[in-house]
Amino acid sequence: MIDTSTIPGSGSNIRTLEVETTVSAGPLEVWRAWTSKEDLQKWWPVPDAHIELRIGGPFELMMTMSLPAGLRGSEGCRILSYIPGELLSFTWNAPPTLPLRSSNTWVAITFRPADEGTRVRLVHTGFLTGTDWDDYLAYFAETWPYVLDLLSNHWA
């Protein structure tokens, strides 16, 4: 079972950010680039990852190994759903520098065929209101475009 107690966002009064890119590879190949540790590390320079492709499985990307366990990245994040070659969704947390580290949001990524390859749409949602939530949202408004650029450039 997925523990939803760390996800305060609910209903339709949540904030969302959306980022899109087109990747010069097929949908299944791009989907695998998100769901396999080996494929993910080819384009996103994360030192370690723990991904188990199952509902409730970990989706943990360790960004900073010099920090103590629990503060290295997305520890504790879980896969919510997936459709091979089409969809991946997972819980997500704020970086350890932000006060809402223990409050999860969620991300849904879709992979659609496009003339040039695959259209990747990342939707990060579950943000509430308030200064701390504004900081959480602003952090990922800068981070996700960078991540999708890494993904797109991998196949450039």
Domains and CATH numbers, the chain: 17-154 (3.30.530.20)
- pLDDT tens across the length of the chain (156 residues): 688 899 999 999 999 999 999 999 999 999 999 999 999 999 999 999 999 999 999 999 998 868 778 767 889 999 999 999 999 999 999 999 999 999 999 999 999 999 989 999 999 999 999 999 999 999 999 999 999 999 999 998
Q: Are 49 and 61 in contact (CB under 8 A)?
A: yes
pTM beyond cutoff 0.85: yes
- Between CA 128 and CA 133 the distance in angstroms is 6
